[in-house]
């Protein structure tokens, strides 16, 4: 997913403008720092979880007694299957697990087709939904299990081709199952998001909105996808659109992301084009009601380290440019 | 005579309206671009561009017909067109009070109000007055009199009072979106760069005139080139072009390949980056 040479851009831009290049600052806040540890579960017990990380290393984390895990539903950490992909929110320098999500996936895109029972891979009354996840992520097929369809349909009243879909679920055996709605579906068709408010006068020094996450990032990758990048810079006709008045930035630029709900802040580098998130003009109600519009789509690790809950799917955010 | 003097006014408005619609269709061709403009808002998304183009064509044909011929068909067609427009605007105001009339493309994005309705009513009345003219429209220009000029100016003033677009245009000219929120093509920044002193000073260092990388951050467009110093050291030469203003500042730096150490910097003064 990362584009080559974007780290070099920061160095060159800083040299040209006489700025200093600061490395990404760690998360700061009132509470202790959070760490996201990702990997494949090698061993799990009520008191310990062992992960094989992407670089081939091993991460051993103590599981506190109050920790819960999620894998399509809340369960005890010891019930997680060995071999599942897990992301752990950890404290104390990444040694104590605080929350575990296993095989979690997020499916965001435009509905292309919905097929009912009898489809390959689906049980009777399950629905197979084909999605267009944008020019960078291609198409995905997701199974909406019958038992989850009511909950999803409540938040997706326009369950028809051409409308937006955003759900959280589990990836199992190469198949994605949607279990929870990640947002209240926008009422408009995909591509018909309202334009940003007119920018009369000066720009804002801080911009508020909502931050979400996406599973299209690599396991241990930190960063964000940002919608307002020039189309010719990323070769994407759908970028540069947002219902928030966002400034143009580039891959490699730094965002200061502040989680309004937890008070945590972190410098996050833009590593991808967020054209899909630019099409959503929704709100986050994680803590109060956020202004409309998705400002950044974070990598799961960044989202977790900022205090976000992957199952809730978003947090209210305020950004500045680093 | 007052009534027939309004023919140039009617023809001018038809022509300007048609051109503005065509420009809007070309600029906002993407889905959703015309969802806030009437009468496009009243039809399904795929019909919006054809409807606006069709409307523009009708306006152009009517304007040409009024000027070139004295045929009564064009006079009656103009009356029918403006009468129908009044009805469409009335319907638009009732069904979609949030959208603009689209009379002059995206400049007419403010919601339909009484003034817009009054304008089409006045235009309908002006069109009715043209029935008393037995000559083609160009005849008026040949036999121009001061009375006709004053009548036409009076008609224009009446329409201007009924036009919310004028206030919108003034507001757009006075309050432009800040530079960092405006899409600005890289090609114009590159043209500015190549006509700058910074470019001429560093041109000989560059291995190629095509940038290896180009990106935009806020109101700056960066161009990065591979190059060599006089001592033969491989470097990156980066230019930063400010995207606003008639004589934008252009910064340049020569950066070594090893860890981004700056070898020379010709522009220590910096312009603060605002967000």
Cα–Cα distance, A98 to A92 (Å, whole number):
10
Question: A193-197, B5-9, B128-132 — which is least confidently predicted?
Answer: A193-197
Do residues A165 and A199 both lie within one domain?
no
Do residues A173 and A64 both lie within one domain?
no
Q: Is the dihedral of CA A45, A46, A47, A51 positive or negative?
A: positive
The reply to whether residue B217 touches residue A203, judged by beta carbons under 8 angstroms, is no
What pLDDT, on a 0 to 100 scale, did the predictor assign at position A294? 92
Taking CB atoms within 8 Å and a gap of at least 24, the contacts of B244-253 are B244/B179, B244/B219, B248/B192, B250/B192, B250/B193, B250/B196, B250/B197, B250/B198, B250/B199, B251/A16, B251/A17, B251/A18, B251/B198, B252/A16, B252/B198, B252/B201, B252/B202, B253/A12, B253/A15, B253/A16
Q: Report if residue A1 sits inside a domain.
A: no
Contact criterion met (CB below 8 Å) for B216 and B181: no
Instruction: Work out the mean pLDDT of chain B and round it to a whole number.
Output: 82
CATH code of the domain in which A92 resides: 2.40.50.140
Q: Report if residue A204 sits inside a domain.
A: yes
Q: Are strands B220-228 and A294-298 parallel, antiparallel or unpaired?
A: unpaired
| A11, A13, A199 ranked by CB distance to B178: nearest | A199
Instruction: Work out the mean pLDDT of chain A and round it to a whole number.
Output: 86
Q: Across residues B92-105, what is the average pLDDT?
A: 80
The reply to whether residue A252 touches residue B224, judged by beta carbons under 8 angstroms, is no
How many CB atoms neighbour CB B26 within 10 A? 11
Q: CA triplet A164, A170, A171: central angle to 5 degrees?
A: 100
End-to-end CA distance of chain B: 58
What pLDDT, on a 0 to 100 scale, did the predictor assign at position B266? 46
What pLDDT, on a 0 to 100 scale, did the predictor assign at position B85? 92
Which range is most confident: A13-27, A109-123, A298-312? Answer: A298-312
pLDDT in tens, B45-83: 778 888 888 999 999 999 999 889 888 899 999 999 999
Nearest Cα of chain A lies from the Cα of B131 at a distance, in angstroms, of 44
Residue where a domain stops, chosen among A102, A126, A142: A102
| B216, B260, B267 ranked by CB distance to A230: nearest | B216
Higher-pLDDT residue of B238 and B244 is B238
**Residue % of chain B over a pLDDT of 90:** 25
In this model, does residue B251 exceed pLDDT 90?
no
What pLDDT, on a 0 to 100 scale, did the predictor assign at position A190? 86
Do residues A133 and A61 both lie within one domain?
no
The reply to whether residue B270 touches residue A247, judged by beta carbons under 8 angstroms, is no
pLDDT in tens, A197-235: 776 655 556 788 999 999 888 878 899 999 999 988 888
Do residues A312 and A238 both lie within one domain?
yes
Q: Report if residue A143 sits inside a domain.
A: yes
Q: Which helix (H) or strand (E) holds A208?
A: strand A207-213
Contact criterion met (CB below 8 Å) for A256 and A28: no
Q: Report if residue A266 sits inside a domain.
A: yes
CATH code of the domain in which A264 resides: 2.40.40.10
| B181, B268, B274 ranked by CB distance to A199: nearest | B181
pLDDT in tens, A261-304: 888 888 899 999 988 899 898 899 888 888 888 999 999 999 99
Instruction: Give the range of the structural domain holding residue A216, as residue numbers without chain letter.
Output: 193-321
List chain A residues with CB under 8 Å of B266: none
pLDDT in tens, B36-48: 676 777 777 778 8
To 10 degrees, what angle do helices B146-161 and B114-129 make?
Answer: 150
What pLDDT, on a 0 to 100 scale, did the predictor assign at position A102? 93
The reply to whether residue B220 touches residue A17, judged by beta carbons under 8 angstroms, is yes
Domain extent listing, chain B: 4-175, 181-265
What pLDDT, on a 0 to 100 scale, did the predictor assign at position B259? 57
Nearest Cα of chain A lies from the Cα of B160 at a distance, in angstroms, of 24
How many cross-chain Cβ pairs, A to B, lie less than 8 Å apart?
Answer: 122
What pLDDT, on a 0 to 100 scale, did the predictor assign at position B269? 39
Nearest Cα of chain B lies from the Cα of A248 at a distance, in angstroms, of 5
In this model, does residue B271 exceed pLDDT 80?
no
Q: Report if residue A59 sits inside a domain.
A: yes
Q: CA triplet A187, A191, A196: central angle to 5 degrees?
A: 80
What pLDDT, on a 0 to 100 scale, did the predictor assign at position B28? 62
Could you tell me which of B115, B96, B201 has the C-alpha nearest to residue B163?
B115
Which residues make Cβ contacts (< 8 Å) with residue B274, sequence separation at least 6?
A202, A203, A205, B180, B218, B219
The answer to whether A235 contacts chain B (CB < 8 Å) is no
pLDDT in tens, B102-139: 888 877 877 788 888 999 999 999 999 888 888 888 88
Residue A254's DSSP bridge partners are A269
Residue where a domain stops, chosen among A59, A74, A102: A102
Residue A246 backbone dihedrals phi, psi, to 5 degrees: -95, 145
pLDDT in tens, A136-149: 888 999 999 988 98
A182: Cα within 13 Å, side-chain hemisphere? 28
In this model, does residue B144 exceed pLDDT 60?
yes
Higher-pLDDT residue of B40 and A106 is A106
- B167 burial via Cβ count (<10 Å: 0-12, 13-18, 19+): exposed
Nearest Cα of chain B lies from the Cα of A172 at a distance, in angstroms, of 36
What pLDDT, on a 0 to 100 scale, did the predictor assign at position A2? 43
Higher-pLDDT residue of B45 and A111 is A111
User: How many domains does chain A fold into?
Assistant: 3
What pLDDT, on a 0 to 100 scale, did the predictor assign at position A198? 72
Residue A189 backbone dihedrals phi, psi, to 5 degrees: -75, 160
Q: Across residues A41-64, what is the average pLDDT?
A: 90
List chain B residues with CB under 8 Å of A318: none
Residue where a domain stops, chosen among A119, A152, A181: A181
Q: Which helix (H) or strand (E) holds B238?
A: strand B234-242
Higher-pLDDT residue of A244 and A321 is A244
Could you tell me which of A292, A305, A196 has the C-alpha nearest to residue A257?
A305
The answer to whether A97 contacts chain B (CB < 8 Å) is no
In this model, does residue A1 exceed pLDDT 50?
no
In this model, does residue B157 exceed pLDDT 70?
yes
Q: Are strands B234-242 and A139-144 parallel, antiparallel or unpaired?
A: unpaired
Do residues A200 and A307 both lie within one domain?
yes
List chain B residues with CB under 8 Å of A198: 175, 177
Cα–Cα distance, A93 to B138 (Å, whole number):
85
Do residues A81 and A129 both lie within one domain?
no
When computed from its CA atoms, the radius of gyration of chain B, rounded to whole angstroms, is: 27
What pLDDT, on a 0 to 100 scale, did the predictor assign at position A124? 66
List chain B residues with CB under 8 Å of A230: 183, 186, 215-216
Do residues A113 and A156 both lie within one domain?
yes
Place of tokens 């009656």: B76
Q: Report if residue A45 sits inside a domain.
A: yes
What pLDDT, on a 0 to 100 scale, did the predictor assign at position B137? 82
Do residues A89 and A121 both lie within one domain?
no
CATH code of the domain in which A146 resides: 2.40.50.1010
Q: Report if residue A212 sits inside a domain.
A: yes
Peptide bond into B206 cis (omega under 30): no
Could you tell me which of A225, A216, A218, A1 has the C-alpha nearest to residue A105?
A216
In this model, does residue B227 exceed pLDDT 80?
yes
Q: Report if residue A74 sits inside a domain.
A: yes
List chain B residues with CB under 8 Å of A7: none
Residues 195-254 of B with CB under 8 A from A: 213-218, 220, 222, 224, 236, 238-240, 251-253
The DSSP 8-state label assigned to residue A116 in this structure reads -
In this model, does residue B267 exceed pLDDT 60?
no
Do residues A260 and A312 both lie within one domain?
yes
Q: What length is written for chain B?
A: 275
């Amino acid at each position: 997913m990362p584009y080559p040479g974007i780290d070099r851009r920061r160095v060159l831009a800083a040299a040209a403008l006489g700025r200093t290049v600061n490395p990404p600052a760690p998360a700061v806040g009132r509470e202790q720092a959070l760490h996201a540890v990702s990997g494949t579960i090698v061993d799990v017990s009520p008191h310990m979880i062992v992960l094989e990380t992407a670089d081939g290393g091993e991460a051993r984390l103590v599981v506190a007694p109050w920790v819960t895990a999620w894998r399509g539903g809340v369960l005890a950490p010891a019930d997680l299957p060995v071999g599942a992909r897990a992301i752990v929110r950890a404290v104390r320098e990444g040694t104590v697990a605080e929350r575990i999500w296993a095989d979690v996936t997020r499916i965001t895109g435009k509905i292309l087709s919905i097929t009912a029972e009898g489809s390959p891979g689906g049980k009777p009354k399950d629905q197979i939904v084909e999605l267009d996840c944008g020019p960078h992520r291609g198409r995905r097929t997701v199974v909406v299990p019958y038992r989850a369809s009511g909950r999803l349909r409540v938040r997706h009243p326009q369950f028809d081709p051409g409308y937006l879909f955003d759900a959280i679920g589990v990836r199992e055996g190469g198949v994605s199952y949607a279990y929870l709605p990640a947002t209240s579906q926008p009422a408009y068709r995909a591509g018909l998001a309202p334009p940003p408010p007119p920018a009369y006068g000066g720009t804002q020094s801080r911009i508020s909105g909502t931050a979400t996450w996406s599973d299209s990032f690599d396991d241990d990758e930190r960063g964000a996808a940002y919608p307002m990048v020039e189309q010719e810079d990323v070769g994407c006709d759908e970028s540069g659109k947002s219902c928030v008045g966002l400034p143009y930035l580039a891959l490699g630029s730094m965002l200061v992301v502040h989680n309004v709900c937890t008070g945590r802040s972190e410098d996050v580098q833009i590593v991808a084009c967020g054209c899909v998130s630019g099409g959503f003009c929704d709100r986050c109600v994680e803590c109060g009601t956020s202004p409309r519009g998705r400002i950044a789509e974070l990598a799961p690790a960044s989202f977790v380290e900022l205090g976000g809950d992957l199952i809730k799917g978003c947090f209210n955010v305020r950004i500045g440019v680093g | 005579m007052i009534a027939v003097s309004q023919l140039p006014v009617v023809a001018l408005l038809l022509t300007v309206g048609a051109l503005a619609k065509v420009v809007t269709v070309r600029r906002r061709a993407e889905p959703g671009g015309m969802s806030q403009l009437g009468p496009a808002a009243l039809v399904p998304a795929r019909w919006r561009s054809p409807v606006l183009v069709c409307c523009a064509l009708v306006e152009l044909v009517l304007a040409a017909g009024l000027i070139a011929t004295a045929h009564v068909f064009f006079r009656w067609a103009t009356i029918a067109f403006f009468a129908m427009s009044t009805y469409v605007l009335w319907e638009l105001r009732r069904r979609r009070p949030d959208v603009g009339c689209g009379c002059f493309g995206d400049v007419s994005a403010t919601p339909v109000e009484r003034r817009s309705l009054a304008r089409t009513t006045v235009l309908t009345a002006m069109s009715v007055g043209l029935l008393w003219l037995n000559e083609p429209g160009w005849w008026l220009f040949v036999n121009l009199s001061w009375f006709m000029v004053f009548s036409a100016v009076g008609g224009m003033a009446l329409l201007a009072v009924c036009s919310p677009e004028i206030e919108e245009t003034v507001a757009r000219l006075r309050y432009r979106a800040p530079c960092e929120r405006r899409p600005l093509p890289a090609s114009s920044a590159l043209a500015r760069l190549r006509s700058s002193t910074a470019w001429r000073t560093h041109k000989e260092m560059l291995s190629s005139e095509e940038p290896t990388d180009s990106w935009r951050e806020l109101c700056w467009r960066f161009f990065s080139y591979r190059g060599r110093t006089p001592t033969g050291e491989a470097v990156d030469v980066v230019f930063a072009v400010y995207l606003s203003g008639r004589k934008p500042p252009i910064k340049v730096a020569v950066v070594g390949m090893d860890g981004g150490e700056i070898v020379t910097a010709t522009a220590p003064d910096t312009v603060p980056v605002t967000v």
